[in-house]
Amino acid sequence: MFLKILYRWGDRLEDRVRRKLSHYPILYAFVGGTGIIIFWRGIWHTADFIMEYYFSFGHSISSTSSASLVWWDGPLSVLAGAVLLLLVGLWVPSFIGNEIIISGLKGEKKAVEKTEQEVKEEALIDVKMASQIQEINQRLENIEKRLGEKQF
């Protein structure tokens, strides 16, 4: 029950933040980029700390000086970056992408899993739908012309 309340509260907060930031796209991009960088910094530092702790035996092998950092520096950065990305609504789109989510909801295969034949069939269906839409549009224009002539 508590998690459900927390989830709803977080979802409403995210919606409010996204609504405000959407009016300032440069600021939105800056905040989102900062969140991504902080998140991956935390992953990097955590991996460096683990590698140094278990495998270095006193020799520094990381790209940063992990010995001078406290152990919770990396996990704290991961948490801070994740919270920032969740807050601005970029957590899932940053890592998964909208197309994969939509194809999963539709039950479709990923583009890389489709065969050449399936891609051609989808393209053919798209062409057929476009021609049907064009035909419907022409019929609608004819109907509008006929209705316009009868009114005068």
pLDDT (tens digit, 9 = 90+) per residue, 74-128? 889 999 999 998 888 887 777 776 666 666 666 666 666 667 777 788 888 888 9
**Claim to verify: residue 126 and residue 102 sit in the same structural domain:** no
Span of 109-113, 134-138, 140-144 with lowest mean pLDDT: 109-113
Residue 138 belongs to domain spanning: 114-152
**Claim to verify: residue 89 and residue 148 sit in the same structural domain:** no
**Claim to verify: residue 70 and residue 40 sit in the same structural domain:** yes
**What number is the average pLDDT over the span 62-67?**
54
**Claim to verify: residue 152 and residue 81 sit in the same structural domain:** no
Domain count for the chain, please give it.
2
**Claim to verify: residue 57 and residue 98 sit in the same structural domain:** yes
**Claim to verify: residue 89 and residue 29 sit in the same structural domain:** yes
75-102 CB burial, b ≥16 within 10 A, e <16: eebbebbeebbbbbbbbeebeeeeeeee
pLDDT class of 7 with cuts at 50, 70, 90: confident
**Claim to verify: residue 123 and residue 99 sit in the same structural domain:** no
Residue 13 scores a pLDDT above 80: yes
